[in-house]
Amino acid sequence: MKPAKTAPAPAPQPVKTLDPFGYWPASESRIGGLGGSAAPADPAYAFHSVYVDIGGGIVVCRLRFERLEATIGMLAIHVMGLAPAADARAEMIRSWTADLRDVAESDGVLELSFQASAGTRYAVVGHIYAESDARARSLAIELELTPDASSTSGQEAVRKSLFGRRVFRRTARMVVRTRPTLADPVCQPCTRAQFDEPVYARWAAEMQQPALHDSRQWCEIFILQTLERYGMLRPGAQGLGFGVRPWTGPAIMAARGCSIVVSDFGGSEGDAGRAQPSAVSALLEDLRFPSICADDIFDRQVSTRTIDITNLGPKLSGFDFAWSAGALEHLGSIATAQAFMRDSVGTLTLGGIAVHTTLLNIGSTMDTVDDASTVLFRRQDIERIAVDLVSRGHYVAQLAFDLGDPPIEPESGALLAPKDPELAAALDELGAIPFGLIVRRGDR
């Protein structure tokens, strides 16, 4: 009998070592002791390697810090991909966040993985958006390839949206100082200038309303303009509205051929789809505008469902876009709202769009109202939500916080909390204006 053949030892996997600061060698890093000495163009900059071709397969990315010290600070790590096309722009492939204190306690080693495609070049980018005292002696980045590992087993089977346009500003800078416009919406506050944009008047006319300097109308127009701008208001697209109150948006969406499911704030997951007939009928009638969408089209395209907005569950999925207007601030706490943002993106197809409007605290960067029937989001809360979503592989439109000069008048506390005079007074003292958030579900 011939001896069994011994399988050949696997060939060593290719490993590439990247210069973490090769893309901007002169720029000083947010991690003390690293990088160059020049002030970076992006104040959150920690590192940015050059782009390299690693091949196709699963890539393990290792960050090795030498003598890393940190008691506070979150590091956002992005893998950027640059396709071989001459006019290609870098796109975020994967993103993670890491507590630098935990990394320091793990001997300064951080290991991540992502799926690479042959011909695409990749760079590893790091940012620290909030306070940090991190320091290190050096940083090395390694990319190790496992070739031809194209399997996606273990991942949920989620279809990719047939709709949408890739107009996100996927650059290394999350926060921009430019003044936001309604014509090209990002994550932004309502400003006086946006009321006077032609696109505002156009949407008001389509909603069959006068164009008002009105916060609620701005929220409704922001949602419609975002969905149109990002390619979602097209025949066949499926939309989901959370905590919907009477407005013309669903009728406009249905008239454009979208299939819409709307929900109020009531119910639980166990009751989903079994709302009382009277409540279902009342909600649908409040959204019916025959002069915008004929009744037969509306009845065919719009349905309602009772959903527990704090417990969406895995069964609610497959939508091309989702929206809410003023729901986030009424979920009881900022933490609950952050969880809802994550869950709302989970209802989408790959590449689907979520757009939400809420209230931004313009009176303080530290004090706010939390754990109440109406809460206010500080800038740091918005940034934390954005980093959390990006770390999960999603795309967040850039954050613009320019309030205009002067800002719009804050919302009335008495209107925001009519049954709680003490809360209304606290809201008035801080000041709240509308803010829109835009997220695209990661398409890998």
Cβ contacts of residue 123 below 8 Å, gap of 6+? Answer: 18, 23, 48, 49, 50, 51, 52, 79, 80, 82, 90
Residue 362: closest CA among 282, 433, 273: 433
**Is it the case that residue 315 has pLDDT exceeding 80?**
no
**Is it the case that residue 89 has pLDDT exceeding 90?**
no
232-284, pLDDT tens digit by residue?
Answer: 998 889 999 998 888 999 999 999 999 999 987 554 333 333 344 455 568 88
What are the Cα distances from residue 363, in Å, to 68, 371, 416, 429? 37, 18, 16, 7
**Is it the case that residue 172 has pLDDT exceeding 70?**
no
318-344, pLDDT tens digit by residue?
Answer: 899 999 998 999 999 999 999 999 999
**CATH topology (fold) of 175-440:** Rossmann fold (3.40.50)
N residues, the chain: 444
> Lowest-confidence range among 122-131, 191-200, 274-283?
274-283
The neighbouring-strand residues paired with 52 are 122
**Is it the case that residue 5 has pLDDT exceeding 50?**
no
The neighbouring-strand residues paired with 175 are 399
**Is it the case that residue 50 has pLDDT exceeding 60?**
yes
**Is it the case that residue 29 has pLDDT exceeding 90?**
yes
Residue 257: closest CA among 239, 241, 282: 239
423-432, pLDDT tens digit by residue?
Answer: 999 999 999 9
Q: C-alpha angle 379/227/168, rounded to 5°? A: 60
- For 161-178, what is the mean pLDDT? 63
Residue 254: closest CA among 216, 217, 299, 214: 299
pLDDT at 167: 55
Mean pLDDT in the chain? 85
φ and ψ of 340, to 5 deg: -65, -40
CB-based burial label for 109 (10 Å; 0-12, 13-18, 19+) = exposed
- For 17-44, what is the mean pLDDT? 93
- For 168-186, what is the mean pLDDT? 77
pLDDT at 1: 40
pLDDT at 443: 61
**Is it the case that residue 54 has pLDDT exceeding 70?**
yes
Which of 164 and 231 is assigned the larger pLDDT? 231
pLDDT at 273: 34
- For 222-237, what is the mean pLDDT? 93
Buried b (16+ CB within 10 A) or exposed e, 287-308: bbbeebbeeeebeebbebbbbb
**Is it the case that residue 6 has pLDDT exceeding 50?**
no
353-375, pLDDT tens digit by residue?
Answer: 999 999 999 999 899 999 899 99
Topology alike, domains 15-147 and 175-440? no
**Residue ranges per structural domain of the chain:** 15-147, 175-440
> Lowest-confidence range among 39-43, 90-94, 191-195, 409-413?
90-94
Angle of helix 215-229 relative to helix 198-206, nearest 10 degrees, comes to 100
- For 47-56, what is the mean pLDDT? 91
pLDDT at 444: 52
pLDDT at 166: 55
> Tokens representing 177?
């100082």
Interatomic CA distance for residues 11 and 165, integer angstroms: 42
What are the Cα distances from residue 382, in Å, to 27, 171, 186, 236, 377? 27, 18, 13, 32, 7
Class of domain 15-147: mainly beta
Which of 172 and 70 is assigned the larger pLDDT? 70
- For 280-298, what is the mean pLDDT? 88
pLDDT at 279: 56
**Is it the case that residue 190 has pLDDT exceeding 80?**
yes
Query: Is residue 319 a contact partner of residue 225, using CB atoms and an 8 Å limit?
Result: no
> Lowest-confidence range among 7-16, 216-225, 232-241, 394-403?
7-16
Percent of the residues in the chain that have a pLDDT greater than 70, as a whole number: 86
pLDDT at 18: 94
